[in-house]
A and B are shown apart, each in its own frame.
Chain A
Amino acid sequence: MGIKPPPSLPIKLLICLVGTGGMIGQLLLLREFFILGTGNELVIGIVLSNWLLLEAVGSLGGGFLGKHVRRTWFLFVLLYVAYLLILPIALFFSRDIIIRLFQVLPGEGVGYFPLFIATCLILLIPVLLHGAHFPISAQIMKRFTPLHNPEGSAYFYETLGTLLAGILFTFVLARWDNIFTVCLVIAIFQLVILGVGGYFLTSRRSMLLFGAAALLLAGYAVPLANYLHETSLIRQWYGKVPVHYSHSYHGNIMVLEEGKEHHFYYDGRPFLSVPYPEIDAIHDFVHFTLGTHPQPEKGLIMGGAHGPFMREMLQHPWHSIIYTEIDPALIRIMDDYFPPSLYEELQDPRLERVYKDGRLYLARTDEQFDYIALGFIEPDTLQTNRYFTHDFFQLVKNRLDEDGLFAFSLPGSYQYLPPALRELNATIHATLHEVFPHVKVIPGELNIFFASEKDITLCADNIASHLEDRQVESDFIHPSHLQFRLSPSRKQWFYSMIRGYGETLNRDFLPRGFYHASQHWQQQFSPTAGRIQQRIEQVPFLAILGVLAGGGLLWLWGTSSMQKKKQAHLPVIIGTTGILGMVFDLVVIFIFQCLYGYVYHMIGLLMGVFMFGAFAGSRWSIPKSKDYNILPLLRKTEGALLISLLFIYLLAHIFSQFMEVIPPFLSIVSFIALSFCLGFLIGAQFPLATRLFRERGRHSSQTAGVLYASDLFGGWAGGLAFSLVFFPFYGLGRTLLILALIKSITFISLLLTQTRGKT
């Protein structure tokens, strides 16, 4: 009575910052695990799925605490501070958790299982703390504001914070090289706001002092961030200090210095050492492919070819060579660490560096080339796989002269090709052959692929003669070496090895090349996991559809016969929406990566917009859920989800086919719109289902619990299955088809459900 309520702005701002902190933390940890997983995008699925699950558990824990702890403001502050303190610690240990936990050797890689365990452990405390915030925020909102829907408001402001974090991260923070600077700057900002906001809310001067103390800490933030950054990198890189560490649009670039040598790493994996690279592989590739070409004059080289590779290229009498990279930032950074002599040689006027993604360049250029080659890249990430797809090969063909030559290499062996490598080589061979009538291979540690519209003659004399005419100096191209590499028996052995493999072509949205490369990686670390993967592969796709359809029909029959428990199908509907929710989030990320290759930079924005879309959908449906008859509305959202699957498929292919004409700005806007729309549909369904469930007699808390659990479990399982199995193996089309089948069944179940009053 008579006491003026505190202003609501501070609490709104604080809750908004809870969302911001959560999203920033998620993105920073995601990137660290991405590097630990050496750039394999499937790690994104593992991290997001585990994050979702832990956030949910945290939320349940927060709800419990909120009921039993009376000092909610204190609890809010405690969680707020605890999260901000624990995040840098989690980031610090994320860099070497694999080394400590699994006792791996310096530089030892790991498979999916250790990564899964490591993500669970690192995410555990920060995500539980962050998840616990939501119910406490709702209580705080209720306490400090007169709003009649505090949960909804808390949700709104937290999601708004998430969106703002996505934007802030993408346009500002993503390029900050030191993740601890990002983390501490955000933390100090949040603590200051907490102090000031807390003062306005509680009128306690101690809060102001708290804010002032946080502000004073700002002076120590940069040195502390530098210390944490350097120390954690030393722990991660077995005592070595990187001389360069940065985040580009496409990935993480690191340079280690040892004596006179520099080792270049991309997304945690070494790819080049100067001045002693894998020079034999470079000589073989460059001089075999160019020696096969009668007169290369205009060339295009894309990816993994900077430095010694390009120096060898320049020995040939070109008129011009255009060089692009998968990550254009690499070119500039590597230049800084090349020995002066090499750097000078690369200043050749015939060499034009184009600081653009190679595929995008190829799609948009009008130039024609008589030689196009990929440097030393493999399709072991979605980012690089897009250089080995049918769609890409078609682009190459369009830009290659009729008698031009296209060349690239894939991992091989002089001794034996394990099944995954046979699949990889056979798949790419078949894909290439689909586009080019003539394909040849020189097998070895690196299998060198040649493709042309005209017949290709791989002949030792021919190569030697061309190299001699061009006065190319190479200690490697010796008659005995040519004989060894071009041996007919080795060629026959290679073809016998890949025969019967590679039944499906590698396409942008059916990344079989990536799948087999990941499979090979997986088999290095866990033969058991590799065998499980092989078993999964052997299951016919139609059998999966049949089992799902059969199971769905049985379920439909079962639920329709349960006249008194019709609401029993709602958890399943929500569970499948949970699957779709996570899959949609990942689908947008993966499609973007398959097409443009810089999701490393854009992921914050895509995720933030998706979550905001989910929020907007729920805000749209909450008022409608109060209507008497919500079943038709639920059916509409279910139908819309079904249609959206087709929409995703069509949109992805439109972008793939018309990459050369769609302006970059429009692509980004379209993906943002897609994220928003998909999030909207997912978000719209939950309140409607909750309402229907409650309407059918279930107690409110039970309603929320059952549906929430279904939603989360669906999201977690769907995220993992989609990332690790469905998308890489079945590709976009078949994955969406599986989802379409599942959603069709739940849609039919909704159609069969009678509206209230008619039972």
Chain B
Amino acid sequence: MENIPKKLIIICLIMTVAVVTIMNFSVGDRDDHISAITRATPTADDPGLTKEARFYEALDDNYVQCQLCFRECEIADGQKGFCGSRKNEEGVLYSLVYGVPSAVHIDPIEKEPQHHFLPGTQILCLGTAGCNFRWKFCHNWHLSQRTLEEIGYFHDLPPEEVIEIAKARNVPSISFTYNEPTVFYEYMYDVAEAAQKEDINVVFHSNASMNPEPLRKLMEHVDSVTIDLKGFNQHYYRSISQGDLNVVLENLKIIRESGAWLEVVNLVVPTLNDDPEEIRQMARWIKENLGAHTPLHFSRFSPSYQLTSLSPTPVDTLEKARDIALEEGLLFISIGNVPGHTHNSTFCPECNEMLIDRHHFTVRAVNIENGSCTSCGYDVPGVWE
């Protein structure tokens, strides 16, 4: 050991100690700046199995078959369905998201979008976790493409408290939105039923993939619906979202038959569903099956979720889509997600005067009185009071 350069060892050790000291000193953890920030009311504890689900059938070997949506998942004991929000526990299917919304906000109703249902009013919006579709451009993917466990954030909000909040905040409508409300059907149904008793309107925004029976039952308590009709191509639905266009179309008819107000949104995604011929077929189908007065919104895509490098939809494409829908005889066609665009507003199909002056989510003027155009007296379909 006498060959070891002692000075070198000492220098290196001193340097090492210096490195350790300086680096640890400099990293410096944050002071408690957040202490002044308001405490969160929600907790991230596992809510457990919150409510027995409706619309399912027990099978052999503790399997169950969920019959809420078109997927009709056969779920083994201890497993969850495709949506991640319904779990089989010893042959009983539970909703994991009953009464535990992860998002609760008050928004303008234009945000849904709903253009012919109480314009300029507010909605109390509720959303939970999970979805039964897999769109790669989902704007609310943080909620819809994750389970409640993954989100780890929710409000403990039973239906009666939702009603209380709406009343206390003087909000005329409750909306089930953000993620696909089908996956929290039981919660939505109970809130809707309670809301109806209190004369609070019920709105939901959906992909229209429920089975007919639960949908019909729900519609007994619903006032207005916004449906995403993402395209008019079965291959597109199947390959990109693992969905089913035929189911969506059948459900649109059921909703129309229910008497609730209905608006349809088509998100035009460049290169994926912007074929003019498909848009024409869609517009034609809407007119024939839902009626020419059904509002159709062509929404602009902007980079979202996993489609981060796809450029936004050219406005020209949206305008052409609108022209096609007009040619096919639809009466109320708007362009969404292009704030400031003229056709963000609603025009009278009779006299072409502006019925609702809308700027993004803000309603600046409503030229409708007693359901009629103030200019020509045309009866504008919708719910205005």
- Chain A residues within CB distance 8 Å of chain B: 38, 104-109, 238-239, 256, 258-261, 263, 265, 268-270, 273, 276, 278-280, 413-419, 421, 426, 429-431, 433-434, 475-476, 478, 480-481, 484, 487, 489-490, 492-493, 495-505, 510, 524-525, 527, 629, 631-632, 635-636, 639, 642-643, 645-646, 649, 653, 731, 733-734, 736-737, 740, 744, 747, 751, 754-755, 758
A414, A489, A649, A755: which has the most chain B beta carbons within 10 Å?
Answer: A414
- Chain B residues within CB distance 8 Å of chain A: 1, 3-5, 8-9, 11-12, 15-16, 18-20, 22-24, 26-31, 33-34, 37-42, 102-103, 105-108, 111, 120, 125, 127, 136, 140-143, 146, 150-153, 178, 240, 270-272, 300, 302-303, 305-312, 314-317, 338-340, 359-364
Cα separation A268 to B308 with both chains bound (whole Å): 9
- Please determine whether A505 and B30 come into contact, CB atoms closer than 8 angstroms: yes
B18: chain A residues at CB < 8 Å are 646
Contact pick for A429, options B33, B142, B272, B317, CB 8 Å: B33
Cα separation A270 to B302 with both chains bound (whole Å): 10
Q: Supply 22 A–B pairs (Cβ within 8 Å), ascending by A.
A: A105-B307, A106-B270, A107-B311, A109-B307, A261-B314, A270-B309, A415-B178, A475-B340, A475-B359, A478-B362, A480-B363, A481-B362, A487-B106, A489-B106, A496-B38, A502-B30, A504-B30, A505-B29, A524-B141, A635-B8, A733-B26, A751-B4
Q: Which 8 A-B pairs have the closest CB atoms?
A: A107-B310, A496-B40, A263-B311, A109-B308, A733-B23, A495-B37, A259-B316, A415-B103
- Please determine whether B307 and A107 come into contact, CB atoms closer than 8 angstroms: yes
Min distance, Cβ A738 to any Cβ of chain B, angstroms? 10
- Please determine whether B312 and A415 come into contact, CB atoms closer than 8 angstroms: no
A478: chain B residues at CB < 8 Å are 359, 362, 364
- Please determine whether A414 and B309 come into contact, CB atoms closer than 8 angstroms: no
A498: chain B residues at CB < 8 Å are 34, 37
Cα separation A646 to B289 with both chains bound (whole Å): 74
- Please determine whether B271 and A106 come into contact, CB atoms closer than 8 angstroms: yes
- Please determine whether A278 and B302 come into contact, CB atoms closer than 8 angstroms: yes
| Chain A residue at smallest Cβ distance from B300 | A276
Cα separation A142 to B316 with both chains bound (whole Å): 67
- Please determine whether B23 and A734 come into contact, CB atoms closer than 8 angstroms: yes
> Known contacts being A490-B105, A503-B30, is A495 close to B38, with CB within 8 Å?
yes
A38: chain B residues at CB < 8 Å are 308-309
- Please determine whether A751 and B9 come into contact, CB atoms closer than 8 angstroms: yes
- Please determine whether A273 and B311 come into contact, CB atoms closer than 8 angstroms: yes
- Please determine whether A258 and B142 come into contact, CB atoms closer than 8 angstroms: no
Contact pick for A280, options B8, B151, B360, CB 8 Å: B360
- Please determine whether B41 and A107 come into contact, CB atoms closer than 8 angstroms: no
A276: chain B residues at CB < 8 Å are 300, 312, 315, 338
Q: Kindly count the residue-residue contacts between A and B in the assembled complex, taking CB atoms under 8 Å apart.
A: 226
- Please determine whether B310 and A106 come into contact, CB atoms closer than 8 angstroms: yes
Min distance, Cβ B140 to any Cβ of chain A, angstroms? 6
- Please determine whether B16 and A744 come into contact, CB atoms closer than 8 angstroms: yes
- Please determine whether A415 and B127 come into contact, CB atoms closer than 8 angstroms: yes
Min distance, Cβ B99 to any Cβ of chain A, angstroms? 17
Min distance, Cβ B205 to any Cβ of chain A, angstroms? 12
- Please determine whether A107 and B308 come into contact, CB atoms closer than 8 angstroms: yes
- Please determine whether B146 and A527 come into contact, CB atoms closer than 8 angstroms: yes
| Chain A residue at smallest Cβ distance from B306 | A108
- Please determine whether A433 and B16 come into contact, CB atoms closer than 8 angstroms: no
- Please determine whether B1 and A754 come into contact, CB atoms closer than 8 angstroms: yes
Min distance, Cβ B164 to any Cβ of chain A, angstroms? 15
- Please determine whether B150 and A527 come into contact, CB atoms closer than 8 angstroms: yes
Cα separation A740 to B22 with both chains bound (whole Å): 13
| Chain A residue at smallest Cβ distance from B41 | A496
- Please determine whether B20 and A109 come into contact, CB atoms closer than 8 angstroms: no
A421: chain B residues at CB < 8 Å are 142
- Please determine whether B19 and A737 come into contact, CB atoms closer than 8 angstroms: yes
Cα separation A431 to B218 with both chains bound (whole Å): 49
| Chain B residue at smallest Cβ distance from A730 | B27
Cα separation A263 to B317 with both chains bound (whole Å): 15
B4: chain A residues at CB < 8 Å are 632, 635, 751
- Please determine whether B38 and A492 come into contact, CB atoms closer than 8 angstroms: yes
Min distance, Cβ B227 to any Cβ of chain A, angstroms? 19
Min distance, Cβ B121 to any Cβ of chain A, angstroms? 10
- Please determine whether B105 and A493 come into contact, CB atoms closer than 8 angstroms: yes
B151: chain A residues at CB < 8 Å are 416, 418
> Known contacts being A434-B30, A755-B3, is A415 close to B140, with CB within 8 Å?
yes
Cα separation A618 to B314 with both chains bound (whole Å): 58
Min distance, Cβ B271 to any Cβ of chain A, angstroms? 5
> Known contacts being A475-B359, A635-B5, is A430 close to B30, with CB within 8 Å?
yes
- Please determine whether B316 and A261 come into contact, CB atoms closer than 8 angstroms: yes
Cα separation A273 to B317 with both chains bound (whole Å): 14
B363: chain A residues at CB < 8 Å are 480
- Please determine whether A419 and B152 come into contact, CB atoms closer than 8 angstroms: yes
Contact pick for B108, options A273, A480, A632, CB 8 Å: A480
| Chain A residue at smallest Cβ distance from B5 | A632
